[in-house]
Chain A
Amino acid sequence: MRLFRILGLYVMFIRRVFARPEKHGLYFRQVFREIDKLGVASLGIVAVISFFIGMVVIIHMTSSISNPLIPAYYNSFTTRDVLVLEFSSSVLCLILAGKVGSNIASEIGTMKITEQIDALETMGINSAAYLVQPKVIGMMLIIPVLVTLSIFIGLLGGWFIAVVGNMMTSSDYLLGIRFDFHPYKVVYTLIKSVVFAFIITSVSAFHGYHTKGGALEVGRSSTLAVVWSMILILIFNYLITQVMLG
Chain B
Amino acid sequence: MDFMPSFALIAPELVLAITGLALVLVAAYGGDKFARLSSIIAAIAFGGAFALVAPAVCAGASGPDTLAFGGLFRADAFAGIAKLMIFAAAGATLVIAPRFFEKIGWMKTEFSILVLFAALGMSIMVSANDMLTLYLGLELNSLSAYVLAAMLRDDERSAEAGLKYFVLGALASGILLFGISLIYGFTGTTNFAGIAVAVSGGLNTGMLFGLIFVLSGLAFKISAAPFHMWTPDVYEGAPTPVTMFFASAPKVAAVVLLTRVSMEAFGTQVGAWQQVVIAAALLSIVIGALGAIGQSNIKRLLAYSSINNVGFILIGLAAATASGVSGLLIYLAIYVVMTVGSFVAVLQVRDAEGNQLEGISDLAGLATTRPALAWALLALMFSLAGIPPLLGFYGKFVVFQAAVEVDLLALAAIGIAASVIGAFYYIKIVKIMFFDEPADTVKGEGDTPHWALLLICAVIVSPLGYLMTPWLGNLAEMAAASLALPA
A complexed with B: no
